[in-house]
Each structure stands twice: as C-alpha cells, then as structure tokens.
Chains A and B, each alone.
Chain A
Amino acid sequence: MGLLDARISNRNVLVTSVDNVMNWARLSSLWPMGFGLACCAIEMMATNASNYDLERFGIFPRSSPRQSDLMIVAGTVTMKMAEKVVTLYEQMPEPRYVLSMGSCSNCGGPYWNHGYHVLKGVDRVIPVDVYVPGCPPRPEALIGGLLKIQELVRMEGIGVSRQEALKKLAEKSVDPQQVIGQARKATA
C-alpha cells in the first residue's frame, strides 16, 4: 500500500486522467437536495425554473438526501431545525458538498444579534464549502456559487483532500479588496 500511496501522491498519468474523468462526471451532475427553508428557497426555485434553468449544468433537485451530493442550505436555520439539518447531511453519501445560500445560513444574517432561536451560521453544525452572500442572493449569485463548487470538485482528486484543494484555490484566488480598489481607481 505504501508504494501505491506514493505513486498516487506523485500524480502520474494514470491517476490524473482517471481524476479528470471522475471529476468531469461529478461536476457535471451535481444533484442538490431540494431543501428549501426560507426566502432563499424561492430564489432557488426561480433558479431551477425556466429563466435560469439549472439543468444546463446538470443540476436537478432530488428529494432524498441519499441521492444527492450537494446540499443547498437555502434560508434561515433555526435551533429546532439544526438537528434535522445535521441528520440530513449525515444521510448524504460521500463525497458531499454544502453550499450555504444567503446571509442567514452564512452567519445568522439579519437575525444574528437578537434572534434567540436562529442558528448563527450553518457552519456551526455542518462543514460548509461555499458561501453565497445576498439576502436573498440573486439567481446569478447562486449559479456563481454552484460554479465555485464545480471549481472545487475539479481541484480534488485521488489523494488530494478537500483541504488541499481549498488551499490551492485560495492561492489562485484574488483578494476582493484589491479588486474593489482597482474598480475604485478605474471609476475615479
């Protein structure tokens, strides 16, 4: 096994092409769980409907966690719901991804300071891969978030863990402050 491990981490031709095929298959059929919680769920429905049509990306909501590999937490997670979210997450098969959609599931959103019954961020109970901001996010933003998930899937591979993939992506990413600064200079 040690030999095999070494070979895999060396990323030879065989492994990388298998990786590519696998990742291609996985990222072009991301099945999210149709799991609407609040306002964002309506925008998620609008994204699934005719005008934005997520099926272009092979994304089609499934009703059962057993059949899905992506969980879109669309809306406010409350204390009463938190345990159910964990249960649903645990029922999903590996590899699974979580997209936190909207301010409420990112960090409690508008309900972060006095909302006694609101979970302040779904990342307190389950690991989140991509955070989509907005209250509620436009369908464009949700699609952008899903493309980010696809990017993450593309980075992963045999012997490359999620953390390493994220690290690689972080290296590639640009600081939003710089982008804003450039935009500011351009407008000035």
Chain B
Amino acid sequence: MSEYFSNIKTGASTIATGMAITLKHFFNAVKRKGDAGIDDADYFKQVDGLCTLQYPREAVPTPAIGRYRLHMDAEDCIGCSQCERACPVECITIETIKVTADDLAACGKTSGGQQKRFWLPVFDIDVAKCMTCGICVSVCPTDCLVHTPVADFSEFDVSNMLYHFGNLTKIEADAKRRKLEEEKAAKEKAAAEAAARGEAPARPAPKPKPAPGPQPDGGKAGE
C-alpha cells in the first residue's frame, strides 16, 4: 500500500518539476531573442527569451564561408578544369577552346593578373546535384568558384537549377572554334612544308628526343 502511494507521490512530484521548468520558460519568453550571428561577441548573451526566428522577416546571418549556392565568376576562370576533375558528384561540366594568339588580349586577364588561355563556351553547374562539399572551391587556383551563403532558391522546375556560366554564346563559340582550327591547319601546313623541304620541324621543343617521331606524326596530320 505504501508503495502505491509513494508511486503516486513520485509521479506527481516529477511531473510538477517538469511543469515548473516549462512555466519558468513561459515567463521567460516575453522578450525576443536578438538575431546576432555566432561570430558576434554577444551571441550567448542573447540566448534567453523567445528563440523562434521569424524567417522571411529575420534570419541568422550565415557565415562568410557558408557553403550553399555555387557561383562561378567567368571573368576570373582560366579554364583549368581542376574543379571538374575534383568534384565527387560530377556536377560541373566544362568545355574549353584554346585562345588563338591574336585573341589573347580580347580574352583578357584575371583579376589576379594572370593571362587567360581558354575560352569557356560551356561552364555548367547543376546545383540540383551539388552536395556543397566545397572540394571544387578548395582546388580552384584563381578563387573564381565560390559557394555563396545564399541558401533559399527553390524552383518550380528542376531544369532551372542548371546554371550556365560560360562566357561565349553558341555562335561565338563556333566562330572561335573555327578560328582555332584554321590557325592549327595553317601551322601544320607550314610544318609539313618545312618537313618536305627537309628542314628540322619548326616545332619548339616538346618532343626533342625521339627524332623520327615527329616526322610521321606531322606528315599524317598534314594529309
């Protein structure tokens, strides 16, 4: 019998303790919690009070290194394709066209002063696939690929999430490609003519050692 009553007593008292805690918080919840971010010195001074964020009207600031929407700055991209290779998800697709010598000035330099050597007809990021791991950003040599702290960008159509960052239109890309081919053909023709004249191929030193190597190679390409 005493066990029965003691059970009731513990039950009532433990529930009353819980209720007291809830009540304390109820009276505590008269003021709003501030919206300082974690990098603010007084973040933990403002934790008491109503903790709910009224999101569309207020939000906690995301940190500067926050990894959400992927963004590429085509001005700074040198087309090295390292991000494409590093991405575990393979959500980046890059196509490059080599810049012809006379176009180097038109292609321009990165903000770091590095000469760009590739046109970028295609630089597609499928942010629907992206898992925001940040590996692509860590390998980018020019810091042109960044995760922005923008998180809220939902869509009605999933195909809108394929972002195109290339800096050429399709027609421009075709023109550049043709130009490169023409230049290449001209070079090869010159090389073939030089070879036919029996001179050493006017090629700078990438394959110096195998002497018979370049000749059949050049000949074939010439045909």
Contact = CB atoms under 8 A, between A and B. Distances in A.
Asked whether the complex places CB atoms of A and B closer than 8 A, the reply is yes
Interface of A: 50-53, 56, 100, 103, 106-110, 112-113, 121, 123, 128-135, 137-141, 143-145, 147-148, 152, 166, 169-170, 173, 176-177, 180, 184, 188
A110 B164 CA distance: 20
Q: Give the most central of B71, B152, B161: most A CB within 10 Å.
A: B152
Contact of B158 (A56, A107, A110, A137): A107
A120 to B, nearest CB: 10
Contact of B152 (A103, A135, A140, A169): A140
Contacts of B53: 51-52
A133 B51 contact: no
Contact of B154 (A51, A135, A141): A141
B186 interface: no
A53 B33 CA distance: 14
Given A52-B55, A53-B52, A106 B128 contact: yes
A100 B158 CA distance: 10
B158 A123 contact: yes
Contacts of A137: 151
A115 to B, nearest CB: 11
Given A109-B131, A110-B129, A112-B129, A130 B153 contact: no
B42 interface: no
A37 B88 CA distance: 23
B133 to A, nearest CB: 8
B46 to A, nearest CB: 14
A143 B89 contact: no
A184 B75 CA distance: 10
A121 B159 CA distance: 12
B131 A106 contact: no
B174 interface: no
B129 A134 contact: no
A135 B154 CA distance: 13
7 shortest interchain CB distances as A-B pairs:
A144-B152, A145-B154, A135-B131, A138-B151, A110-B131, A132-B154, A53-B52
A131 B152 contact: no
B153 A135 contact: no
Nearest to B132: A135
Contacts of B18: none
A105 B59 CA distance: 26
Interface string B39-78: 0000000000001111110010010000011010101000
B103 interface: no
A133 B127 contact: yes
Contact of A50 (B51, B56, B90, B164): B51
B16 to A, nearest CB: 23
A131 B155 contact: yes
Given A106-B158, A141-B154, A176 B132 contact: no
A166 B160 CA distance: 14
B43 to A, nearest CB: 14
A113 B52 contact: no
B89 A112 contact: yes
Given A112-B129, A134-B151, A135-B130, A51 B156 contact: no
Interface string B135-161: 000000000000000011111111011
A133 B89 contact: no
B163 interface: yes
Contact of A177 (B69, B156, B164): B164
B154 A103 contact: no
Contacts of A134: 68, 132, 151
Contacts of A139: 55
